Structure 1
Amino acid sequence: MLNVHRMSLLREVASRGSIAAAAEALYLTPSAVSQQLSTLEREAGVELLERVGRGVRLTHTGTKLVAYTERVLAVLEEAEADLQAVSEGVAGQLRTCAFPTAARALLVPALKRMRADHPLLALSMVDLEPEDSLPMLKTGDLDVVLTYGFDRLPERPDPGIERHLLLTEPLYIAVPDTDPRATGPAKLSDFRDDNWVVGRDGSPFLDVMIRVAAEAGFEPRVELHSNDYQVLLSAVQAGLGIALVPPLAFFAQYPGVVCLRTSDVQINRRVLAVIRRGSGGRPAVEAALGVLRDVSREAVARYETLVPLAG
């Protein structure tokens, strides 16, 4: 019979692209992972990986086995959720994570409520970007992760996770209030010659900026990079450039900064709670999703009033 642990190792290699990356994520040595995968191949009776240069890739059979692995792991999550519902209720451990903006605006208030409502639940939190938190969710190191996406960027399907939409918010153009265009709605194309402060290389925030600028007919001129909206807003305040920002970024006041609605290109950011497929029946996870929905509804109404809109 196939070993589920070894199957999950194969899934990790498929997800991360190499044995070395999978080993690092799982705190194992590459040789230990290779040995386990060789044993899995003997159990399966077929080759699951093939050499490509200095790396490996899944064979057709290996890809099929990963798809089965996703289904098996989801069923196991459902079984554990059912058992916990009977034996524990909202108790045990819940490991949460969010990107920094959502950690401050959504996750911290949600954890405060959960601690008051469920004193038997041990809560933990760390703030990470989605590219770091989602792999940890899939390996079982986290239980609930807050991520984000943009309506201009396609969402890659992943059978191992479930995404739950918490809120959708617009992105505004943040400019110094001394800018002569800071009087009301403006076209993104009006800012083709400005310096933009954008996300780091490889981040969805940078990708969406490039995408919407292309739709508006220009390539953004970029000198400053940061994934921290507070850094972006400080740079705008200092006159170093302009930036796209959502309402959740405005937990503090930035005198001298105003926001403009875009009239030619509409840009929205989605904030999502992500869990392992099948784990939604766990009482702690179910409770967390409910509280996060409530907190998100309240946050949309509160933060929208804090945006310093022009006009």
Structure 2
Amino acid sequence: MLPALEDVLMVARSGSVAEAARRLHKTPSAISQQVRRVEERFGVALFERDGRGVRLSPAGEAALGAITRLFDQAEGVFELLSELAGEPSTTLRVAASDYLGKGLLVPVIRQMLEKRAPVRFAITTANSVDAARGVERGEVDLGLASASSAGGDLVKQPLFVQPFLWVGPRLKGTAPALRERLRHEPLLRLAPGSVGRRMLDAYLDRERIRPISTIDVSSVSLLVSYVSGGLGIGLAPALALTEVARSRLDVEVAEVDPLPVELMTRENFRRNPIVERFVERLAAEGRRAEQRTRALLGG
């Protein structure tokens, strides 16, 4: 049943039989047959139709954690066999938003590759909520996420605390505060469901601000790019602005609570020496990131 369970896991992760087939280099009919095999063997429906795709049934949701742990343990066996064969290697699957990837992951990955560490990286760009969800479902091993994300059952290691800032195009002469300009200039928003979007919506509701127009962007980096180009005001995490040319930007501390950035893993994730080295360097990079955000704020 193990090959069939692997197909079930891929359908659960992708939400689509066709996408699971593409990733596993199989036909959709072969994937569907394997899913039916498991369902008929145990007399339980694991999936329900959801538009053009599928979603886990209540029984499927209950089984997902156990199936994920099964393949986590299998991955540990493969790593052990590689070590016994004298060719140890670790694959680290990491999910992080674009700005956290640039600010935290890139320096650490560069260091480890320069040291020729026996590790392969598979990086997925995702907002904090999706990164935490990816760790929960076993799609990735580690996630970098803001503390208010999902993932209550995950192991979380704080990396640094960062404030959020209003950022907008710099105007000539004496300009009103950015929070006042929010009422008169286009508002840049991240995707619904992201931490930044939730914070922004809560602030607008609290202050009873209705923007004259909105521009939805897919990432923090794109938000900053719009502002640098002279259009829109947005709410951005401080780390995203530490290496941006300030000559074209106005920046103000936003009236929202700072959020810790955390490294998230599953409880049964195998932390071998390579993983421990990665986590240690990531923690050190987090401390440097906090120093850079403080310098941005002038303190």
TM > 0.5 fold call = yes
Question: Could you tell me which amino acid in structure 2 is paired with residue 171 of structure 1?
Answer: F
Question: Could you tell me which amino acid in structure 2 is paired with residue 304 of structure 1?
Answer: R
Q: Is the 8 A contact 2:83 2:89 kept in 1?
A: no
In structure 1, the partner of 2:89 is: 92
Alignment counterpart, residue 287 of structure 1, candidates 274, 277, 280: 277
- How far did 1:255 drift? 0.3
TM-aligned CA distance change 1:207 to 1:8, over 3 Å: farther
TM-aligned CA distance change 1:305 to 1:28, over 3 Å: farther
Alignment counterpart, residue 150 of structure 2, candidates 136, 155, 160: 155
Q: Is the 8 A contact 1:177 1:256 kept in 2?
A: yes
Whose RCO is larger (CA < 8 A, sep 6+)?
1
Question: Could you tell me which amino acid in structure 1 is paired with residue 146 of structure 2?
Answer: G
TM-score (norm 1): 0.73
In structure 2, the partner of 1:166 is: 159
| Cα distance between partner residues in 1 of 2:205 and 2:85 | 52
| Cα distance between partner residues in 2 of 1:132 and 1:29 | 27
Higher mean displacement: 52-61 or 167-176: 52-61
Q: Is 2:252 the partner of 1:260?
A: yes
Q: Is 2:204 the partner of 1:213?
A: yes
- Match runs of 1:1-311 below 5 Å: 3-49=1-47, 58-76=56-74, 83=80, 87=84, 91-97=88-94, 98-117=96-115, 119-124=116-121, 126=123, 128-130=125-127, 143-145=141-143, 147-149=144-146, 151=148, 154-157=149-152, 162-178=155-171, 180-182=175-177, 188=179, 191-200=182-191, 203-249=194-240, 250-262=242-254, 265-275=255-265, 277-307=267-297
| Cα distance between partner residues in 1 of 2:276 and 2:261 | 18
TM-aligned CA distance change 1:46 to 1:192, over 3 Å: same
- How far did 1:300 drift? 1.1
Deviation string 1:258-307 (CA, Å, 9 cap, x unpaired) is 22123xx4143443334455234222222211110111111210243135
TM-aligned CA distance change 1:283 to 1:260, over 3 Å: same
Question: Could you tell me which amino acid in structure 2 is paired with residue 172 of structure 1?
Answer: L
- How far did 1:171 drift? 0.6
SS of equivalent to 1:255: helix
- How far did 1:192 drift? 3.6
* Unaligned segments of structure 2, at least 5 residues: none
TM-score (norm 2): 0.75
| Cα distance between partner residues in 2 of 1:256 and 1:54 | 45
Q: Could you tell me the percent identity over the aligned residues?
A: 24
Question: Could you tell me which amino acid in structure 2 is paired with residue 291 of structure 1?
Answer: R
Q: Is the 8 A contact 1:205 1:227 kept in 2?
A: no
- How far did 1:102 drift? 1.9
Question: Could you tell me which amino acid in structure 1 is paired with residue 150 of structure 2?
Answer: E
* Unaligned segments of structure 1, at least 5 residues: none
